[in-house]
Amino acid sequence: MEQDPAAARALFRMDGLDRRRWLGGAAALAASPLLAPVGTFAQGGAVAQGDAWPTRPIRMIVSYTAGSGADILARYFAAALQKSLGVPVVVENKPGAGGNIGTAAVASAPPDGYTLLVTPSSPVTGNPLLYKNVPFTTEDFAPVAPLLQTAFALAVPASLNIRSLAQLNDFVRERKGAAKYGAPTSSSIAISAFYLDEIGASAVRVPYKAAQEALKEVEAGEIDFLFIDLTGVLGAIPRGKARVLAVTTDERSKVAPDIPTLRELGVTTAQWAAPFMALAPRGTPEPVLAKLEAALQEIGRMPQTAEFLKSAGGEPLEGGRAFLKTFIAGQKAKWIRAIEVAKLERL
């Protein structure tokens, strides 16, 4: 399938990962002796080297636009997985509805190992609780491997001349419900709700199809603040049109240690991280899941991957399918609490 030139340009914009580093990582992958042939990934005898799978291209679905943090992450792992499995791994972007469109496409795909979802946890764990009539549940997916964890960042337009969280708090309160915030994902909605509840203010929610669309509106001064994954916002900082005031994790990000946490600045309830993972449709055969898990874990241990994750604004999220199953259950419980505490209405 011919790639849209605009999408290609979007992918390699400074949206959390610069083009040179991405290409360098891809070249290192291609030459790496550390990426073993697929047969060496079999564990415990579950998968034999002569097994037929895979024999045709694998689709890697991303529920967000080209150039988004999830897209950049997926394209790196797709290139590595293609080398390890010996078949094409094609990234397909299916953005919209807070991640529901692409997520639903994977939930309804044949469970044959030829469709994967690379996603933050929120579309799978939060969207079935937050959105009405979502055609999937958390249980419709089989865990494959965790990939990365990154913070969310609080971004404001540089044109507002707001340089601290205290100044933003005052600005939002003074607008008496007229301030506008971006809502491209369910996580951004939840974090914004916690934040507004804690500072005792309200604001207008502006929905977006994708986080990068919302970020452009921040840079243009069309909305007043946005919670977006750090991976997606790092590239905006050098452009000078958006300012990052804080991150949402308990500790400062190792990638951007100069940015304070919300907790440091007095907001204690809006703590939220963005874990990214690979999932398959429920019912995917166990030997296929085992082979995918082992391949992705091997990729995750590569020095090139550590460098890539750092440049992309993230940190490794280590573990296998058992860890990921427990992790997903914990994320779902967190969403249940978030909806109750922040009094979020179903969308």
Q: What does the pLDDT look like over 26-82, one tens digit per residue?
A: 445 544 544 544 444 333 333 343 368 999 999 999 999 888 878 989 999 999 999
Q: Please, which residues have CB within 8 angstroms of residue 313's CB and are 6 or more apart in sequence?
A: 16, 17, 69, 150, 229, 230, 231, 232, 233, 234, 253, 255, 256
Distances (CA, A) of 313 to 154, 219, 288: 14, 20, 30
Q: Which of 73-77, 192-196, 261-265, 309-313 has the lowest mean pLDDT?
A: 309-313
Assess if residue 265 is contained within a domain. Answer: no
Same domain for 282 and 215: no
Q: Report residue 346's pLDDT band, with 50, 70 and 90 as the boundaries.
A: confident
Assess if residue 163 is contained within a domain. Answer: yes
Q: Report residue 341's pLDDT band, with 50, 70 and 90 as the boundaries.
A: confident
Same domain for 48 and 133: yes
The mean per-residue pLDDT over the stretch 84-92 comes to 97
| Separation of first and last alpha carbons in the chain | 35
The mean per-residue pLDDT over the stretch 171-188 comes to 95
> Mean pLDDT of all residues in the chain?
85
Q: Output the pLDDT for position 292.
A: 97
Number of domains making up the chain? 2
* Interatomic CA distance for residues 64 and 83, integer angstroms: 24
Q: Report residue 126's pLDDT band, with 50, 70 and 90 as the boundaries.
A: very high
Q: Report residue 137's pLDDT band, with 50, 70 and 90 as the boundaries.
A: very high
For residue 195, give the CATH number of its domain: 3.40.190.10
Q: Output the pLDDT for position 51.
A: 66
Q: Output the pLDDT for position 313.
A: 79
Q: Output the pLDDT for position 213.
A: 92
Same domain for 229 and 116: no
Same domain for 9 and 131: yes
Same domain for 116 and 75: yes
Assess if residue 262 is contained within a domain. Answer: no
Q: What percent of the chain is predicted at pLDDT more than 70?
A: 85
Q: Output the pLDDT for position 153.
A: 96
Same domain for 91 and 135: yes
Same domain for 131 and 93: yes
Q: Output the pLDDT for position 141.
A: 98
* Interatomic CA distance for residues 307 and 311, integer angstroms: 6
Q: Report residue 345's pLDDT band, with 50, 70 and 90 as the boundaries.
A: confident
pLDDT at residue 272 is higher than 60 = yes
Domain encompassing residue 194? 151-247
> In one letter, which amino acid is 341?
V
Assess if residue 111 is contained within a domain. Answer: yes
Q: How many residues does the chain have?
A: 347
Q: Output the pLDDT for position 315.
A: 84
**Parallel, antiparallel or unpaired: strands 115-120 and 180-183:** unpaired
Q: Output the pLDDT for position 29.
A: 52
pTM of this structure: 0.76
Same domain for 202 and 57: no
Q: Output the pLDDT for position 50.
A: 35
Q: Output the pLDDT for position 94.
A: 96
Assess if residue 228 is contained within a domain. Answer: yes
Q: Output the pLDDT for position 337.
A: 84
Q: Which of 16-20, 294-298, 336-340 has the lowest mean pLDDT?
A: 16-20
Q: What is the 3-state secondary structure (H, E, C) of the chain?
A: CCCCHHHHHHHCCCCCCCHHHHHHHHHHHHHCCCCCCHHHHCCCCCCCCCCCCCCCCEEEEECCCCCCHHHHHHHHHHHHHHHHHCCCEEEEECCCHHHHHHHHHHHCCCCCCCEEEEEECHHHHCHHHHCCCCCCCHHHEEEEEEEEEEEEEEEEEHHHCCCCHHHHHHHHHHCCCCCEEEECCHHHHHHHHHHHHHHCCCCEEEECCCHHHHHHHHHCCCCCEEEEEHHHHHHHCCCCCEEEEEECCCCCCCCCCCCCECCCCCCCCCCCEEEEEEEEECCCCHHHHHHHHHHHHHHHCCHHHHHHHHHCCCEECCCCHHHHHHHHHHHHHHHHHHHHHCCCCCC
